[in-house]
Structure 1
Amino acid sequence: MTQTADSPPLRPAGSFVIGTRGSPLALAQAHEFAGRMSEAHGWASDELAVDVIRTTGDSIQDRPLSEAGGKGLFTKEIDAAQLEGRIDFAIHSAKDLPTALPAGLVIAGYMPREDVRDALIARDATSIAGLRRGAIVGSASLRRQAILRRARPDIEIVLLRGNVGTRLDKVARGEIDATLLAFAGLKRLGLADRISALLPLDECLPAVGQGAIAIVIREGDEGSSEALAPILCRDTGIALAAERAFLTELDGSCRTPIAGHATVSGERFHLRGLLLSPDGTAIAEDACSGPVADAAALGAELGRSLRVRAPRGIYT
């Protein structure tokens, strides 16, 4: 970042602390963030301290998050550490962030987004259609469950929690026939070779925020904001503004299967949104486009429109 004679000096790397969950994927994302910051500012790779924080969501493995309290279970302990001043940057998978952050915290921006597609990991299939009749598929995502049930009403879906490695191992051991995971996470963990197939967006629209890493800071923390500026991705920020506004209007609290994906081309954006009933039989979808300056407003408008037109069974 360019400094002028009147600018305060950038805080040294050693004065910043990164907060993250302790899963292998969360740590990979935190280290990717640290690497980008080090490259941008010429810091040594080990100068940014990392505080690994165990969250309530990490402790719950026996039931869906929708029954335990929603997305905030993966963030509340990290939020508390940030508000207490223990950490400066909180690194989150954007799709894990609740639509409203606690007072005093803001999303400062996003790193460049990875591929948003879902990946099929299966023992004996290279597509959802190719899964054996009555196959057992593990997933904790209501969105993925609904999409699977819509495509294949015959399959059995079981709850699958745990980190990426745990889920892959259950498929490899034959405890389940298949699972769906985010391609972005598998790539960041160096596990893309375990993928049986990448699912096209028209077959499996991703979760809002999928593939994006969000950086949360304290509101008014100018030092952290200034340090972040060189690594933030404009287009990802615009796309996520549209997606998160869409999700907010639909009560995106893990109780309703919701998908949404926005893309940016120059000064225009395009957003596609999807609502499903939990059993996949009812569906509502639509899209919007417009200037990037209106991304959040038009995303919210699309969310309100879909909610009004949602068939019975989606909002029970």
Structure 2
Amino acid sequence: MTFVKTYKIGTRGSPLALAQAEETRTRLLAAHEGALEPEQLEIRVIKTTGDRIQDRALSEVGGKGLFVKEIEEALISGEIDFAVHSMKDMETELSPELIIDCILPREDARDAFISASGKSLADLPSGSLVGTASLRRQAQILNRRPDLKVDILRGSVETRLRKLAEGKADATLLALAGLKRLGKEDVITELMHVDDMLPAVAQGAIGIERRLEDEEIAALLAPINDSVSYARISCERAMLAVLDGSCRTPIAGYAELVDGNMLDFRASVLATDGSLRFDASGQADISEAIALGERLGKELKVQAEDANLTFVL
């Protein structure tokens, strides 16, 4: 009897997380066609603390790392071989035992605005309630429309859409990437231009985390890494790292490839209530992605500190 190696893929259990794990699985099978069979890639669902807590903002209970803690523990222990993550959920500092050196081709990073009335953000009546658990989205909404109200709306994509239909908010925002991966683009009222709603760092990107010393998994994943997406995400996360950013500080950043090998990067940091906003932008060769992110992070940090804007860590 021939032994067939099986690789265990760790993921959260939400429909979006499972869709991302399945995309990873499909890309691996295509990249290793003839050498890898479908039954060799097993998707293993791991329940995280972030999935269990649905009634409070992540900033109140420990941050976005709550979506990955148990998955990373399973990776370190050997229970799984690699893990699939939404990169916007990842802290900038990983365990020294782990690495993310594989980023799939990035999906559209824009935010989608969804309102029960079908009105755009600009046309939403004064006093309307926009529900979102993202401090970044809350701060940008209040910066643009201080006459609106914001409150926490948490849960999976399906849960938030249901809460909107039940009248628990007048509108919400969701990542376009997630809606596309779930085939739910029909719910969108308005696609937000990045000039009007700067995305979260690494929004729309799927990252694969592995054990640092596991060269077999490194070789398995290497063919599905998208180098341009990897540079874009590296740039954005470098900025976030300089700011010591977390889900408790409204920070946004978006890097895109322009003019061949040039990265164009814009980033913002805001006061939680939207009353202050600081912006920075710049360009660099794609090979200087991390240096560009760090430079803009330092610019933003100086601006924020000069205005006595405190970073909540």
SS of equivalent to 1:261? strand
Matched AA of 1:226: A
CA distance in structure 1 between the aligned counterparts of 2:51 and 2:4, rounded to whole angstroms:
29
Cα distance in structure 1, aligned partners of 2:168 and 2:55: 16
What percent identity do the matched residue pairs reach?
50
1:26 aligns with 2:17: yes
- The yes-or-no answer on 1:292 pairing with 2:277 is no
The aligned runs of 1:260-275 (5 Å cut-off) are: 260-265=253-258, 266-275=260-269
The secondary structure found in structure 2 opposite 1:31 is helix
> 1:313: how far off?
3.7
So what's the TM-score if we normalise by structure 1?
Answer: 0.93
Q: Give the number of aligned pairs.
A: 305
Aligned counterparts of 1:30 and 1:123: Cα–Cα separation in 2: 31
1:34 partner SS: helix
Give 1:260 deviation, angstroms.
Answer: 0.2
* Residue 170 of structure 1, CA deviation: 1.3
Deviation at 1:120, TM superposition (A): 0.6
- How far apart are 1:270 and its partner, in Å? 1.4
CA-to-aligned-CA distance 1:246-296 (integer Å, 9 cap, x gap) = 000111121210000011243221110101101111011011211122110
Is 1:302 matched with 2:296? yes
Amino acid at match of 2:76: L
8 Å contact kept, 1:277–1:283: yes
Q: For the Cα contact (< 8 Å) 1:288–1:299, is it kept in 2?
A: no
CA contact (8 A) 2:250 2:269 kept: yes
Distance 2:62 2:212 in 1: 25
**Hey, what does 2:29 align to over in structure 1?**
38
Is the counterpart of residue 65 in structure 1 residue 58 in structure 2?
yes
Match of 2:90 in 1: 97
Work out the CA distance in 2 between the residues paired with 1:32 and 1:138.
Answer: 29
Partner deviation per Cα, 1:212-269 (whole Å, 9 max, x = no partner): 0000000021111111111110100000111000000111121210000011243221
**What code does the residue aligned with 1:32 have?**
E
Shift of 1:13: 7.5
2: CA distance, partners of 1:65 / 1:193: 28
Q: How is 1:142-181 mapped onto 2 (pairs within 5 angstroms)? A: 142-181=135-174
Pairing partner for 1:54 from 44, 47, 60: 47
SS at match of 2:40: coil
Q: Distance in 2 between matches of 1:14 and 1:182?
A: 36
Aligned-partner Cα distance in 2 for 1:61–1:231: 33
Which moves more between the two structures, 29-38 or 290-299?
290-299
Unaligned runs of 5+ in 2: none
The Cα RMSD (Å) is 1.4
**Whole-angstrom distance in 1 between the partners of 2:310 and 2:70:** 31
> Quick one: which of 217, 226, 230 aligns to 1:237?
230
Unaligned runs of 5+ in 1: 1-11
- Cα 1:308–1:102 shift into 2, 3 Å: same
